[in-house]
Structure 1
Amino acid sequence: MCGIIACRTESPAIDYLLTALGRLEYRGYDSAGVAVQTVDGTVARLRTVDRIGALRAAVTAWAGGHFGNVGVGHTRWATHGSVSVVNAHPHTDCSGQISLVHNGIIENADDLRTALTASGHEFHSSVDSEVICHLIEDQLKISADLLEAVQASLLALDGSWALAVLEECSGRIVVAARRSPLLVAHTPVGQFAASDITAIAEWVDEFRVLEDGDVVELTDSGDSADGAAPALARCVWRSNDSELSGYVDYMAKEIDEQPAAAARLIDEVAGGIANGKLWADLGLAPFERLQVLACGTSLNAGHVIGNLVRRLGGLPASFIVASEAAGEIVEPHTLCLAISQSGETADVLAAVEHRTPAESVLALTNNSHSTLARRADAYLTCAAGPEIGVAATKTFVCQVIAGAALMISALVAVDRIAAADARTFVDDLRRLPDQLDAACVIAKYEVPRVTEELSSAAGFIFMGRGSGVPYAAEGALKLKELTYRWAEHYPAGELKHGPLALIGPGTPVVVVDNAEPRLAANVAEVTARGALVIRIGPAGSTIPVVTHPVAPWGPLESVIPMQILARSLGLALGWDVDKPRNLAKSVTVE
């Protein structure tokens, strides 16, 4: 959620810090701050509760010594303590020698704060991160070496952390990670540590992902580590991947990128579907049942994938909200499909950590270097590329495609479906990019016709049947995220069992029409009660984007008009569609 950047560079560090923080802003944006060593050896600490633009203004207005080549920065999404300047990172110790930025949760922070206060330490914030500063301050009295002091301080902590510590007197930076992502990179322009590769992709060709327990110092010759250095990984994302490129917001750009992202992914996986190779290459044991473990949009994608396994393969599939996974009974020969866009979703990681020997874990993520990918028995990337908008768009589409391709391959490998049938599904997949592109064109023309009529609606119902239900769920989620209006989804047959009471004259009802025969009767029920029906389906619908026959993964094209509808309404209501309130892209706390 929060974002970290630390650097030791050849030219002034502030330029790199501000650029990186701008790229990290989507992860957390309640506040932001930097601590930068100046040429006279002091540290300038600047913080704001506004966006990165306000921090840039504070830097421009700085009247102190010239900024030097060492610094740390942070964007915060509040978990402990209110949104205020004193709670913004970087935090410091009593002496002012330590400036620290931290992602994660210190679970024993209250006990540590009580003990540190009793021993004479003064706290200036209400956040858990500040206790680490004072622990390091005490350890520096025992050992003058910053690396050793940080190592010793971490022994007292319970919880998760990715942190960077800047020492004023020496200009040294030490970083550490446990159950929270952090990577380090040595580049021609300097040394970096960051919580997300997108922050530093402009300058990086290779990087190292820190393992749990790693403590590393950024040095002019690279990085010095406590223990063995993590393995190098290549950076495949470039800074221009996260540029607006002429769009007014990232969501518009990422909606338009979906056909190309789908085509790229299908080209990568298509050759291994009908022969079972995509599954066989993962080296996992055959499974007799599927358990989907995910949150939010990823859970909606998981429902699509699980429904496909049930309908094509006749295998049972269950769906677990990751935050509620404790106590789940897992039967033998279960494959756990753990889905997370970032691969750092704390609820998913916690559930995977407590898995049983009865299940294999397969990660489906957009980040092959993530914690989830490393902890799973195998992983498959959905290869969507960088996604900056908080509300997921192309990652959902790519999760569905990657998951469907893999499950069809697995069902071929265990003789649940014939290779000839699988080849037909591959042909269907290859048609998807054109179908998504056509859906974009049609939706951009049709959605504005209904947006004005819907802008005053207090709430929305989304409904579908069968393979359309997960798409109705995703459409409702998008509308909630971007408009701050209530929106609920239901299997259409459930309306008469209670939710029909919500329908009155003018109530917007978005119907995902996958040509399920019983759906027409449900549409008639809401129409008779005065609902304003927006039907997303075949020719003749309000928004005619769904092709027939519907593929085993359901009407994937339907998600695009619902994304455009949510964005259009959000903009009409004056909201920032890239950064919806109270939400963050990578949810790294439970």
Structure 2
Amino acid sequence: MCGIIAARVSDDATPFLLDGLERLEYRGYDSVGIAVRTASGKLETVRSVSRVGDLRALVAARADAAPASDARSGVGIGHTRWATDGAVREENAHPHADCSGRISIVHNGTIDNAHQLRATLERQGHVFRSDVDSEVIAHLVERALGVDPDLLLAVHIAVAQLEGSWAIVVLDARDGRMVAAADRSPLVVARSDRGDFVSSDVGAIAEWCETFVPLRDGDVVELGEAWSWSSEGVAVPVPFPTASPFAPSALELGDHPDHMAKEIGEQPEVVAALLDRVRRRTADGSTWVGLGLPPFDRLAVVACGTSLHAGQVIAGTLRTLGGVPTDIVVASEVDHVVLAPGTLVVAISQSGETADVLRALDRLDERHPVLALTNNVHSSLARRADAVLDCHAGPEVGVAATKTFTAQVLVGVTAVVSALVASGRLEASRAAALVDELAELPERMATAAAVAADRVPLLATTVRDAPGFLFLGRGPGLPYAAEGALKLEVLSYRWAEAYPAGELKHGPLALVDEGTPVVVVDHGDPRLQWAVAEVRARGGFVVTVGGEGTDLPALPRRTDAADLAWGRSTAPWGPIEAVVPLQMLARELALQLGCDVDKPRNLAKWVTVE
């Protein structure tokens, strides 16, 4: 969702802010803006309800018209806003200023007591120019500066009055001082030979900084010649910096037409690298032992969206192999969930900042240990958990998760296999055989991609005019059907619903008419053929995804009798490779309909509000 970038550099900060904002675009946004201190000690603020490219044009035009005395300095802040509180209009775009125009702020998160604070500030004479909660922060800092001129102290006083979540950067136009603060919202600071930088996403500053320091809840930091760092109001040494998790080139498209295509294509490589990391430690149980978690009798997955589907695969594997009871908890519905004693919570979020997941953990009984499964080990979720598993998927720019889903499945599946070995529920020899089966996955996924590249374009053309789609599966195949439906819905803006195939005649069959597309994830269960026959008898257009003989075979062709079973995915985690043609179908249909596959409407990569 919203993104923050700030810079203190020796020359004009504007190019850094604009470049950083472009790297934050993938998070999703409705408006964008920057505020830069000028040489005369004023703030030049430019905002737009269009894209960063439009902001660039506005900034360039403003520079051409500005007198030399108003040249921009090396200090500035920028923001991409996802509208939650207040309509999409320029007045609600960040940065926001105080009454005097001295203070400018950018903010991610939600201020729960903003209405009360605003009412008090207005009674005291403060004039608001927007409808958003974030603006109260600028006026709180302004009010504090009226008592004491020190900006750092003013920010401490301001954040002490806030309830909710925030990652903020405050800029003082008079002297160029800059202070950052965070609580329950991600923010990192970094220093390099180019200068000091602040961002909500390390990827936005990776080109200029090889290391970074994440702010923890309650941290307040002033950037300058020497950083001043405090935690919960107490001065502390500056934490040791962490190496950036990826090279800046990892965010570039290369020869790919879009980030989604690139990230779908990276899945075999991601899987192979992950297996190299976990293969031995899975079979002997040491992965689980190393996490230091207590024994558990049940497992509860807490997640949203794609991560929830990955959690269903992980839970299904644990049930099938170890007979361990599991619960699947939609994070936003946690208030209606009661977990049994002895339950281990597995919280899954690719960003580690998913607000629904974090709030769910706040509401669950603290006696339940938490294992975090995330692609960001410096995230709020990772800090909140008792143990963390890194998905090692690398940066994912496309809003629709692809390689992070596969990585979550693989890391989670190998972890529960390791847990079963460590607890004596599964023999090490059986675990080794399962790991050997997973070793075939990179080849399976590469083959699935090659076949889909040949067949999907014509298939998408055939179903392009359909108003909606059904996706069917059984058992281990059902989470992949659900994931395929979600991808198609997100990217093409056509409705898509996933059901267990056995439920077809209990309701969804009423939706099937002449030509209705019905995508069936066929992992070898013979009962699926009854569902296919029911659909075809009513004129439905069936698309099968799975082994040899399906419309989109996700497995290499084998001719020797000894390997015929290889064409059916009988593993407890189901047909992971089937997700590739499902992703490619959703992408191709969206492209044919003229949709932006990297930035689907109304959605964000990091869902940091409930």
TM-score normalised over the length of structure 2: 0.95
Q: Secondary structure at the residue paired with 1:437? A: helix
Residue in 2 that maps onto 1:540: 549
| Pairing 1:266-345 to 2, within 5 Å after superposition | 266-345=275-354
Alignment partner, residue 589 of structure 2: 569
1:335-389: CA deviations, max 9, x gaps?
1000000000011011112332441100000001111011100000111000000
Paired position in structure 2 for 1:55? 55
Q: Which of 455, 465, 486 matches 1:477? A: 486
Matches within 5 A, 1:63-102: 63-64=65-66, 65-102=70-107
Question: Any conservation in 1 of the 2:221–2:227 contact (CA below 8 Å)?
Answer: no
Instruction: Please say if residues 209 and 231 of structure 1, whose CA atoms lie closer than 8 Å, have aligned partners that are also in contact.
Output: no
1:268-287 Cα distance to aligned partner (Å, 9 max, x none): 11120110001000001111
In 1, the alpha carbon distance for the partners of 2:478 and 2:343 equals 24
Q: Counterpart amino acid of 2:17?
A: L
Question: What is the distance in 2 between the residues matched to 1:515 and 1:231?
Answer: 52
Residue 181 of structure 2 corresponds to residue 176 of structure 1: yes
Spell out, residue by residue over 1:412-449, the C-alpha distance to the aligned partner (whole angstroms, 9 max, x if none). 11111111111111111111111111111111111112
Structure 2 residue 518 is the aligned partner of structure 1 residue 498 = no
Q: 1:551: Cα distance to partner?
A: 2.0
CA contact (8 A) 1:299 1:339 kept: yes
- Which of 122, 132, 146 aligns to 2:127? It is 122
Deviations 1:307-350 (A, max 9, x none): 00000010001100001112421212111000000000011011
Shift of 1:40: 2.6
- Counterpart of 2:201, as a letter, is D
CA displacement at 1:224 relative to structure 2: 4.0
Q: Decide whether aligned partners of structure 1 residues 223 and 23 sit closer, same or farther in structure 2, where only a CA change above 3 A counts.
A: farther
2:598 maps to which of 578, 582, 585: 578
Q: Does 1:10 align with 2:10?
A: yes
Partners in 2 of 1:244 and 1:17 — Cα distance?
21
Deviation at 1:223, TM superposition (A): 4.9
Aligned to 1:362: 371
Tell me, what secondary structure is at the counterpart of 1:273? helix
SS class of match (1:293): strand
The match for 1:241 among 250, 261, 277 is 250
1:449 pairs with 2:458: yes
Contact 2:512 2:539 in 1 (8 A): yes
1:550 aligns with 2:559: no
- The structural deviation recorded for 1:552 is 1.9
Residue 416 (structure 2) pairs with residue 411 (structure 1): no
Cα distance in 2 for residues equivalent to 1:48 and 1:237 = 30
Correspondence 1:36-55 to 2 at 5 A? 36-55=36-55
* Contact 2:334 2:363 (C-alpha < 8 Å) held by counterparts: no
Q: Deviations over 1:538-563 (max 9, x none)?
A: 11111111442432211011111111
Give the Cα–Cα distance (whole angstroms) in 1 for the partners of residues 428 and 499 of structure 2. Answer: 35
Counterpart contact for 1:211–1:230, Cα < 8 Å: no
- In the alignment, the residues of structure 2 paired with residue 545 and residue 478 of structure 1 have an alpha-carbon distance, to the nearest angstrom, of 17
Moved over 4 A (4+): none
Q: Percent identity?
A: 55
- Partner of 2:146, secondary structure, is helix
Q: Describe the SS at the equivalent of 2:291.
A: coil
Deviation of residue 231 (structure 1)?
4.2
Work out the number of aligned pairs and report it: 590
| 1:196 correspondence with 2:201 | yes
Q: Which amino acid aligns with 2:579?
A: V
Unpaired stretches in structure 1, ≥5 consecutive residues:
none
CA contact (8 A) 1:440 1:561 kept: yes
Query: Which residue does the alignment assign to 1:389?
Result: 398
Whole-angstrom CA distance in 2 between matches of 1:483 and 1:514: 26
Which residue identity is paired with 2:274?
Answer: L
CA-to-aligned-CA distance 1:109-135 (integer Å, 9 cap, x gap)? 111111111211111111110111111
Secondary structure of 2:283's match?
coil
| 1:159 is aligned to 2:164 | yes
Partner residue of 1:374? 383
SS at match of 2:161: coil
Matched, 1:399 2:408: yes
Answer yes or no: is the 8 Å Cα contact 1:185–1:222 preserved in 2.
no
Q: Distance in 1 between matches of 2:315 and 2:335?
A: 20
Matched-pair contact (CA < 8 Å) for 1:217–1:225: no
SS at match of 2:213: strand
1:134 is aligned to 139
Which amino acid is the alignment partner of residue 302 of structure 1? G
Deviations 1:505-559, CA, capped at 9 Å, x for gaps: 1000000000112111111111111000010011111111144243221101111
Question: Pick from 413, 420, 429: which aligns with 1:420?
Answer: 429
Point out where structure 2 has 5 or more consecutive residues left out of the alignment: 556-566
In structure 2, C-alpha distance between the alignment counterparts of 1:420 and 1:213, rounded to whole Å: 48
Report if the CA contact (8 A) 2:219-2:229 is conserved: no
Moved more, 9-18 or 69-78: 9-18
**Partner residue of 1:527?**
536
TM-score normalised by structure 1 residue count: 0.99
What is the alpha-carbon distance in structure 1 between the residues aligned to residue 572 and residue 240 of structure 2?
40
